Amino acid sequence: MIKVGLKEVAERAGCSAMTVSNVLNKRRSVKPEIAERVLKAVNDLGYQPSQWARRLAFRRTGNGHSHAPLTRRFGCIMDIPATGKYADPYYGEIMEALETELNQRNYELSFVEQWNHLAGSERMGRILNPENIDVLVLLSCENVLPEVKRYLKNIVVLGNFFLDRTVDYVSCDMVNSGRVATQHLLDLGHHRIAYIGPQLAPECASHERETGYRLALMNHPERLEPKIIHVNTSSWQEVYEKVPELLRGPDRPTAIFAHCDLNAVAVIKAANSLGLKVPEDLSVVGFNDDYLAKLSHPALTTIRVDKVGIGKIVAQAGVDRLENPGIPPRISIVPGELVIRDSCAPVGTAGVSHRSK
C-alpha cells in the first residue's frame, strides 16, 4: 500500500503541499474553492496524519460538497469517583453550561474522562496529544496538573490555585463561602457546630469549605472547638450511617454544616431517624444549591454557587487562551451566596421559619 502524504494530497488537489498544510492547520486564509479541493482530496485518499481525519467535517449542500470549519476541540478530565462523571449534580450543571457555551462559539467538547480511569494508561498520551485536543479542562483534580502539563500547555483548572501559575484558574470563593455558612449558624446562637465532608488534600478547592468553617469558629470570641466528621466525597450513605453516632448524647451538635447539599439531605434523613426535627432540634446548612436543596424537607439553607456562570467562565478562559495565546494566565473567583430557607433556626426555638428565598 502506498503511503499517502501531503505531496499526494497536493497533487490530487492541484495545489502545493504548503497550501494543504495551511488548510488542515488553519494557519492562513485559503480560497474556499481551493480548501474544498484539499478537503475532498484528503477524504478521497484517506489521508490521516495523526487523527486529523476525525477533525474533518463535511456537509452536503444543494450544490454538492462544502466543508465546515475545522472545530477547535476541548477535553475534560475530572476526579469525582464517588458518583461518576455524569451523576454529580454540581459538576453536571457546570459541564452542561460549559458544553453549551462551547457549542455556541463553534467549539467542541470532545471527551470527558475520569482521572482514575485514565492515569497510567496508554490511552492518556493518545487522548492528550496536542494534535487531537486544543484545550484541556481539569475539574476537581488540580493536583494532576504537573502530569498533564507534560502533554499540553493550554489548560484551564476549575479548582484551587495550585503552585503553578502558568495556567488559567476558575473557582468559587470556597473559604469565604464556608465562613459565611458557619457564621450564619453562629449568628443564630449555635456554639456546637459540626462539619461533615471529605478529607481532602489542602490543594483541593473543596477543602477550603472546611477551612472557612474553621476560620469562623476561630474568630468567634469564645474560639469554639471544631467538630469534624470526614466521609467519602459525596457518599450520602456514609453520612447517613455516621450522623446518628454524632447526634447521640447530651453534648451533641445543635447545628451541622455539610460539604454539599447531598450530604446535608442525608444529615436531615439521619436526624429524622433518631426522632430529631430540623430545624427545631438541629439546624443544617448545605453547599451548592442544587435541585436537592429545593426538594429537601424542610427546604435547605445553603450556599448558592453560580454553576452556569462558572461553566461559561471556564469556556471563555479556554477560548481566550486559543484566540489570544500571549495573554497572561488569569484567576477568576466566583462568589458564593447564602440562601436562607427553612432548615435553620435559633437555638432554643421551635417552628421558627427563616426563609428568605
Kindly indicate the confidence band of residue 138, based on its pLDDT and cuts at 50, 70 and 90. Answer: very high
Whether the predicted pLDDT of 97 surpasses 80:
yes
Q: What is the mean pLDDT of residues 17-33?
A: 71
What is the rounded distance in angstroms from the CA atom of residue 251 to the CA atom of residue 116?
40
Whether the predicted pLDDT of 66 surpasses 50:
no
With CA atoms as reference, report the closest residue to 338 among 186, 214, 153: 186
The domain segmentation of the chain, as residue ranges, is 6-67, 72-173+307-335, 174-306
Q: What is the mean pLDDT of residues 85-97?
A: 78
Of 23-27, 149-153, 274-278, 353-357, which gets the smallest average pLDDT? Answer: 353-357
Q: How many C-beta neighbours within 10 Å does residue 192 have?
A: 15
Q: What is the mean pLDDT of residues 240-267?
A: 93
- The per-residue pLDDT for 253 is 96
Of 69-83, 86-100, 148-162, 206-220, which gets the smallest average pLDDT? Answer: 69-83
Fold match between 72-173+307-335 and 174-306?
A: yes
Q: What is the pLDDT of residues 157-210, one digit of tens each?
A: 998 766 678 899 999 999 999 999 999 999 999 999 999 988 766 656 567 899
- The per-residue pLDDT for 233 is 58
Higher-confidence residue: 357 or 120?
A: 120
Whether the predicted pLDDT of 51 surpasses 50:
no
Whether the predicted pLDDT of 54 surpasses 60:
no
pTM for the predicted model, two decimal places = 0.75
Q: What is the mean pLDDT of residues 141-157?
A: 89
Is 6-67 a domain of CATH 1.10.260.40? yes
- The per-residue pLDDT for 48 is 62
- The per-residue pLDDT for 299 is 98
- Tell me the residue type at 327: I
Cell of 257: 454544616
- Residue 157 near residue 138 (C-beta atoms within 8 A): yes
- The per-residue pLDDT for 219 is 93
Considering the chain, what percentage of its residues have pLDDT values greater than 70? 82
Q: What is the mean pLDDT of residues 70-75?
A: 80
Residues across the chain: 357
Whether the predicted pLDDT of 49 surpasses 80:
no
Architecture of domain 174-306: 3-Layer(aba) Sandwich (3.40)
Beta bridge partners of 227: 194
Kindly indicate the confidence band of residue 87, based on its pLDDT and cuts at 50, 70 and 90. Answer: low
Whether the predicted pLDDT of 15 surpasses 80:
yes
What is the rounded distance in angstroms from the CA atom of residue 205 to the CA atom of residue 230?
16
Whether the predicted pLDDT of 63 surpasses 60:
no
Is 72-173+307-335 a domain of CATH 3.30.1330.40? no
Whether the predicted pLDDT of 69 surpasses 50:
no
Q: What is the mean pLDDT of residues 208-213?
A: 93
Whether the predicted pLDDT of 46 surpasses 60:
yes
Kindly indicate the confidence band of residue 282, based on its pLDDT and cuts at 50, 70 and 90. Answer: very high
